[in-house]
Chain A
Amino acid sequence: MEKRARFESRWLPYALIAPQLVITIVFFFLPASQALYQSLLVQDAFGTSTQFVWFDNFSDLFRNSEYLSSFKVTAIFSLLVAVLGLSVSLVLAALADHVVRGAGVYKTLLIWPYAVAPAIAAVLWLFLFNPTLGVVAHWLKGLGIKWDPLLDGTDALTMVVIAAVWKQISYNFLFFLAGLQSIPKSLIEAAAIDGAGPVKRFVTIVFPLLSPTTFFLLVVNIVYAFIDTFGIIDAATSGGPGQATQILVYKVYADGFKGLDLGSSYAQSVVLMVILITLTVVQFRYVERKVQY
């Protein structure tokens, strides 16, 4: 049987994908090529003098030890956000899937954080963790734990990771819950009859069947941690203390908008774009093979 759809008309298929193509060209290819071109220029802030410098902006970047340390911070941050975000929401979704009474309330409450703007989420956590005013900071002090995100890089990173994870849990939760609910009950019941306990059922049946959802969420969460956490970093730590929370996307902003060094900022955004494209391609080529649809 022929699987491929066939169109009688010559132009219809093109017309159908045209809107998507236009959007991709206008909002991705044009700005991306502009960034590529500008990354080869050195310009003053007002654009009154411009020089074409080939790859000087890039070589300057990779000679800069602060930029290289920003890679390390981004890797640690993204990994933590993705892994913690996925595991916490998977646990929540698995538990919510079992709730019978009041399930609607639980689900609604768990989805709420998604409606909070990143900067507000950051300020909220900042208040909780503020060494002088924060409730959490007060508890930590009570437990004898030294807490100072203004000076301690690890504390600051912990704080932004928690805020970023909290913000993304709802999204992950929704997808996991939908994934869980689409798993046929008969499979799980059959396993239960065969004597498999809840943990065994989860590991051998539920988790493999969830893998398409998990894979999709992994890609989305990595991109989220790389790009969308900007608001949280900006409001909570501004990249500090030192450069403990300066992830790549924050440095693009800081150097471009605050530092007015546009050439370097463009070069950094090109590097960021290359990293994200590579990561996504790798995920699709290698991780997806292990996914069972």
Chain B
Amino acid sequence: MSQRISRLARLAAALAVAGAATAAQAVTEIQWWHAQTGGNNERINALAKQFNESQSDYKVNAVYKGSYPEAMAAAIAAYRAGNAPHILQVFEVGTATMMAAKGAIKPAYEVMSEAGEKFDPKAYVPAVAGYYMNSKGQMLSFPFNSSTTVFWYNKDAFEKAGLDPNRAPQTWPEVVSAMAKLKASGHACPFTTGWQTWTQLESFSAWHNVPFLTKENGFAGSDAQLVFNGPIQVRHIENMQDWLKKGYFVYGGRKNEPEAKFYSGECAMMTTSSAAYATIKQQAKFKFAESTLPYYADVPGAPQNTIIGGASLWIMAGKNKDEYKGVAKFLTFLSQPEVQAQFSQATGYLPITMAAYELTKKSGFYEKNPGTDVAVQQMIVKTTNNSRGIRAGNMPQIRDAMDEELEAVWAGKKTAKQGLDDAVKRGNEIIERFNKANKG
């Protein structure tokens, strides 16, 4: 009998110790939903691991949730079911939707100041910070991976066509003469473009310092109207239609599909994201170089700066104080120049803070990988109201409308003016629906 009691007592004691141990180890888990694939996915996991090992109070779980729109749709469904992640990676065109969802998100500046963590918008490259700022200059989300639009060309093909492989065409007229020479040398596809709406209209407008939409490109109010059917944009799209007819420009799809045409050697020049670097470097069996986006030299104010792509991290509402503290600690970890410089060098995304840029420069990375600093050079200027970024609700849908109208122009069914007018008209209807839905 007494033996049994003592055994029970021992068991109870053991349970009590076990309980105390779990209480001491209670780490706060933080869910981070993202949309990075391949090598970038590995980088994300490495970041989470590095943070988890650096301290013992919080544990960040990085979860891949599909493409950008899929991750966003998944988080929306989870939020509606009361199950949202703490941190969500949202692509740049989802920014306006997130900003309008006031009850669903907690602004990044608020999370950081409540936790007493430092978060200075001025530390960031201006065109990056501006994109995610409200009208009071407060950061609503945390800039993470940013890319921009750049120009790529095949040096071997340039040489074969009798062009100087060490000098990239700077302006569109120079691109035209390069296209003609490439065509004459037997190249079937002198030029193609990835992300046509981003490179040829959104970033194109900022680069030429002309508005994309009214109200400072939507930054000064959500009732903005699209105006990308101005004379400069129409002229450019008209030119592209002409190049397509002449066989100078080959259309390859709406998103990054055309990039395959470049690294397979089929197309000699391409405008697309700077984040294509890793893939091109891996796949291309020829010498290539990266350069600034071409512009029309007769347009006053050009070149200004290009617009960012990529994504930022949003913090979802409805979590407890301790969890927010962990989120803030993690974001501070991500803000370190060393972490950012490393991430940028491995992925081809921009170094998003000036400190990370300086660090990368000092490490000699840009000398070893010439051209990789083009993207940064295009961005580190003071932005204007036309170049800070684009803020329009339902931007993914607007892009679809733009893509469809551009395809009608390329197919010769519409003139450039007609196509852009129709895209503007359809886009404005989409903005109107967005404002209607976000009135309350």
A residues touching B (Cβ–Cβ < 8 Å)? Answer: 42-51, 60, 64, 66, 132, 150-153, 238, 240-243, 254-255, 257-261, 263-264
Contact = CB atoms under 8 A, between A and B. Distances in A.
B432 to A, nearest CB: 9
Contacts of A51: 436-437, 439-440
11 contacts: A47-B80, A48-B101, A150-B251, A242-B411, A257-B70, A257-B73, A258-B69, A258-B397, A259-B400, A260-B72, A260-B97
Contact of A259 (B397, B429, B438): B397
Contact of A46 (B103, B254, B403, B433): B103
A269 B426 CA distance: 21
A159 B404 CA distance: 18
A43 to B, nearest CB: 6
Interface in B303-341: none
B208 interface: no
Contacts of A43: 437
A44 B438 contact: yes
A224 B60 CA distance: 44
A259 B76 CA distance: 12
B423 to A, nearest CB: 11
Contacts of B80: 46-47
Nearest to A264: B433
Given A44-B437, A44-B438, A151-B407, A260 B76 contact: yes
Contacts of A64: 429
Shortest beta-carbon contacts, A-B, top 4: A49-B440, A259-B397, A46-B104, A48-B103
A255 B76 CA distance: 15
Contact of B253 (A44, A47, A66, A150): A150
Interface string B387-413: 000000010110011011101101101
A153 B411 contact: yes
B106 interface: no
Interface string B71-84: 01100100110000
Given A150-B253, A240-B254, A44 B403 contact: no
B102 interface: yes
Contacts of B429: 64
Contacts of B251: 150-151
A34 to B, nearest CB: 13
Nearest to B73: A257
B280 interface: no
A46 B394 CA distance: 13
Contact of A260 (B73, B79, B102): B73
A42 to B, nearest CB: 5
Contact of A44 (B72, B100, B405, B430): B100
B266 interface: yes
Contact of A258 (B261, B400, B407, B437): B400
Contacts of A260: 72-73, 76, 97, 394, 396-397
A229 B439 CA distance: 36
B407 A240 contact: yes
A234 B75 CA distance: 22
Contact of A257 (B69, B100, B101, B103): B69
Given A49-B437, A50-B440, A242 B408 contact: yes
A176 to B, nearest CB: 38
Contacts of B73: 257-258, 260
Contacts of A153: 411
Contacts of A255: 397
Contact of A241 (B97, B400, B411, B436): B411
Given A46-B76, A254-B400, A151 B437 contact: no
Contacts of B126: none
Interface string B47-82: 000000000000000000000011011001001100
Contacts of B433: 42, 60, 261, 264
Nearest to A240: B407
B101 A45 contact: yes
B409 to A, nearest CB: 10
B411 A152 contact: yes
B247 interface: no
A260 B405 CA distance: 21
Nearest to B258: A150
Nearest to A257: B73
